[in-house]
């Protein structure tokens, strides 16, 4: 069986390089390896390696959620490609839910035994008639994207990663952004129903429960049920929002009346009065213009991941 390692050495501010070095010394199988060199390179590498194949192949990603997002984007609807991951990022939200490889022997055991895998859904969002993005874990409009943008520009994440506390960078950025983010109004439509929310903080679209480095924002989300879960935080004070973020780690946020959960296979989302930041899988993708329709859908069985029990 052909195996390709796609390695992001910069993941986790250098953690990817260290993890790959250790893994490489332990591997005894035949494999190919490719290193990402710029944003979007993981998608290109995966797409080029997977095209025209008629036999099952395994791509092992050494990286974080951003690298996983890129690689999955490159192999959507290719039934011959199976994805495995060796965690090497900062937040590692993918690894909190999906099965991942723990070491070289785990990878080799998977290859040598009768392999099994699971087909998974992928979320997709489209802005108006133009930009279209997918998400493996989640996408967000509002405060979570605003925080993501700040993290990507900050040196704090780098220093926290150095001491093994990279996942705290999101929580720190949340506290810092509480007093500068401007709330917005949003309308959500689905299946002839409409919901309007004033003073919204964010709208999170989830394909699995975790985001932000371990916050279980959408406890009921499952990546193989054909449904997307929408979490709207609205009409809540800045100080109470901080309490909400603390409770998210323990799934207690579901009790707040200011948090609304919706579920379905497609939604239309409209933000009002402001241009609002947006992200997919922790990658900042820009602003959504005032009044632009955000169309959220789910693509069934769009990619395959190694299964549990291997």
Same structural domain, 106 and 7: yes
Same structural domain, 152 and 263: yes
Same structural domain, 141 and 270: yes
Same structural domain, 184 and 264: yes
Predicted confidence (pLDDT) per residue in 57-81, tens digit: 999 999 999 999 999 999 999 999 9
For residue 13, the cross-strand partners are none
> Helices (DSSP H) in the chain: which residue ranges?
15-26, 41-50, 65-74, 93-97, 104-112, 143-153, 156-162, 168-177, 238-248
Task: For residue 310, tell me if it sits in a domain.
Answer: no
Average pLDDT of the residues in 251-275: 92
Name residue, tokens 């092992």: 60
Domain end (from 81, 115, 149): 115
Cα separations in angstroms, 223 against 110, 135, 181, 219, 230: 22, 11, 30, 12, 14
Same structural domain, 104 and 146: no
Task: For residue 177, tell me if it sits in a domain.
Answer: yes
- Cα 236 to Cα 195: distance, rounded to the nearest angstrom: 17
Q: CA nearest 285: which of 13, 73, 121?
A: 73
Alpha carbon distance, N-terminus to C-terminus of the chain: 16
Predicted confidence (pLDDT) per residue in 79-133, tens digit: 999 999 999 987 889 999 999 999 999 999 999 886 689 999 999 999 877 779 9
**Number of other CB atoms surrounding residue 204 within 10 Å:** 26
Predicted confidence (pLDDT) per residue in 211-241, tens digit: 877 889 999 999 999 999 999 999 999 989 8
Name residue, tokens 């004033």: 198
Same structural domain, 26 and 47: yes
Same structural domain, 68 and 110: yes
Domain end (from 115, 137, 161): 115
Task: For residue 308, tell me if it sits in a domain.
Answer: no
Task: For residue 306, tell me if it sits in a domain.
Answer: no
**Number of other CB atoms surrounding residue 87 within 10 Å:** 23
Task: For residue 294, tell me if it sits in a domain.
Answer: yes
Task: For residue 194, tell me if it sits in a domain.
Answer: yes
Task: For residue 234, tell me if it sits in a domain.
Answer: yes
Same structural domain, 87 and 139: no
Same structural domain, 180 and 239: yes
What is the total count of domains within the chain? Answer: 2
Determine the pLDDT at residue 310.
43
How many residues in the chain?
310
Which CATH number characterizes residue 62's domain? 3.40.50.10330
- The answer on pLDDT for 169 being more than 80 is no
Which CATH number characterizes residue 289's domain? 2.60.200.40
Determine the pLDDT at residue 136.
97
Same structural domain, 89 and 151: no
Q: How confident is the model at residue 298 (pLDDT cuts 50, 70, 90)?
A: very high
- The answer on pLDDT for 276 being more than 90 is yes
What integer best gives the mean pLDDT of the chain? 90
Same structural domain, 287 and 269: yes
Determine the pLDDT at residue 289.
86
Cα separations in angstroms, 20 against 2, 63, 64, 207: 18, 9, 13, 28
Determine the pLDDT at residue 152.
66
Same structural domain, 173 and 282: yes
Domain carrying residue 209: 123-301
- Which pTM value belongs to this model? 0.90
- The answer on pLDDT for 309 being more than 70 is no
Domain end (from 55, 82, 115): 115
For residue 86, the cross-strand partners are 62
Task: For residue 99, tell me if it sits in a domain.
Answer: yes
């Amino acid at each position: 069986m052909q195996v390709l390692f796609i390695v992001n050495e910069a993941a986790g501010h250098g953690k990817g390089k260290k993890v790959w070095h250790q893994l490489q010394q332990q591997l005894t199988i035949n494999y190919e390896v490719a290193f990402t060199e710029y944003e979007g390179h993981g998608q290109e590498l995966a797409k080029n390696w997977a095209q025209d194949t008629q036999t099952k192949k395994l791509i092992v990603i050494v990286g974080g959620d951003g690298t996983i997002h890129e690689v999955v984007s490159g192999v959507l609807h290719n039934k011959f490609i199976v994805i495995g991951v060796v965690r090497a990022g900062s937040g590692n939200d993918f690894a909190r839910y999906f099965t991942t490889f723990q070491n070289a022997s785990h990878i080799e055991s998977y290859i040598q035994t009768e392999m099994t895998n699971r087909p998974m859904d992928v979320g997709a969002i489209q802005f108006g008639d133009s930009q279209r993005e997918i998400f493996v874990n989640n996408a967000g409009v509002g405060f979570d994207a605003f925080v993501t943008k700040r993290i990507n520009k900050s040196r704090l994440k780098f220093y926290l990663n150095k001491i093994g506390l990279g996942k705290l960078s999101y929580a720190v950025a949340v506290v810092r952004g509480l007093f500068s983010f401007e709330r917005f109004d949003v309308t959500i439509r689905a299946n002839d129903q409409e919901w309007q929310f004033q003073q919204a903080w964010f709208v999170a679209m989830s394909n699995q429960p975790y985001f932000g480095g371990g916050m279980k924002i959408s406890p009921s989300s499952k990546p193989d049920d054909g449904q997307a879960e929408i979490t709207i935080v609205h009409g809540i004070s800045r100080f109470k929002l901080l309490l909400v973020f603390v409770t998210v780690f323990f799934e207690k946020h579901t009790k707040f009346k200011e948090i609304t959960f919706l579920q379905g296979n497609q939604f239309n989302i409209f933000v009002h009065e402001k241009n609002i930041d947006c992200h997919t899988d922790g990658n900042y993708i820009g602003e959504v213009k005032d009044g632009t329709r955000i169309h959220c859908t789910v693509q069934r069985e769009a990619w395959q991941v190694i299964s549990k029990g291997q």
